[in-house]
Structure 1
Amino acid sequence: MNILIVEDNDIQLQSLYKILSEKYTEDSFTYMLADNYDEAICIINTNNIDIFILDIALGDNPNGGIDIARFIRFKKNMPYTPIIFITSIATQITTALNELHCCSYIYKPYKPDDVYSAFNFCIHKDIEKSSYITLQDINSISLKINFSDIYFIEADSHILIFYTKSGRFLIRNKSMDSVEQNLPDEFVRCHRKYIVCVAYVTNYDKTNRMITISTVINNKPQNFHIGIGKKYKDEFEERY
Structure 2
Amino acid sequence: MIQVVCCDDEKEMRKVLIKIIEPELQLQGINYQLSEFASGEELLSSNRLEAVDLLFLDIEMKTLDGIETAKQLRKVNQRAVIVFITAFADFVFQGYEVKALNYLLKPYGEKKIVEVLRKALDELKMTQSKYFVIEQKSGITRVPLKDICYFSSDRRMLTVVTTKDSSSFYGKLSDLELPDSFLRIHNRYIVNLNYVEQLEAAFLYCNQEQLPISRKYRQSLMVNFAKNMLG
- Does residue 37 of structure 1 match 2:64? no
State the alpha-carbon separation in 1 of the partners of residues 45 and 6 from structure 2: 13
Q: Distance in 2 between matches of 1:22 and 1:38?
A: 28
- Measured against aligned partners, the alpha-carbon deviations of 1:193-234 in whole angstroms (never above 9, x if no partner) come to xxxxx96xxxxxxxxxxxxxxxxxxxxxxxxxxxxxxxxxxx
**AA paired with 2:19?**
K
Query: 1:4 offset after TM fit, Å?
Result: 0.6
> What do residues 169-205 of structure 1 show as CA deviations (whole Å, max 9, x unaligned)?
xxxxxxxxxxxxxxx7979xxxxxxxxxx96xxxxxx
- The correspondence of residues 96-111 of structure 1 with structure 2, limited to 5 A, is 96-97=95-96, 99-111=97-109
1:40-81 per-residue CA deviation (whole Å, 9 max, x = no partner) reads 1133546611101100111255xx111111011111xx2132
TM-score (structure 1 length as normaliser): 0.49
Larger Rg: 2
Distance in 2 separating the partners of 1:84 and 1:116:
12
| Alpha-carbon distance between aligned partners in 1 of 2:3 and 2:128, rounded to the nearest angstrom | 18
Partner of 1:90: 89
Amino acid in the other structure paired with 1:66: I
Question: Is 1:53–2:56 an aligned residue pair?
Answer: yes
Question: How many corresponding residue pairs?
Answer: 133
Counterpart-to-counterpart distance in 1, 2:63 and 2:13: 17
Partners of 1:46 and 1:70 in 2: CA distance: 12
Structure 1 runs of 4+ with >2 Å offset = 42-47, 126-131, 184-187
Greater displacement, 1-10 / 85-94: 85-94
1:111–1:128 distance in 2 versus 1, CA, 3 Å: same
Q: Secondary structure of 2:98's partner?
A: coil
Root-mean-square deviation (CA, aligned residues, Å) is 2.9
Change (3 A) 1:104 1:46: closer
Q: How far is the alpha carbon of 1:129 from its aligned partner?
A: 6.3
Question: What are the ranges of 5 or more consecutive residues in structure 2 without an aligned counterpart?
Answer: 131-143, 148-161, 164-231
Query: Unpaired segments of 5 or more residues in structure 1?
Result: 132-183, 188-197, 200-240
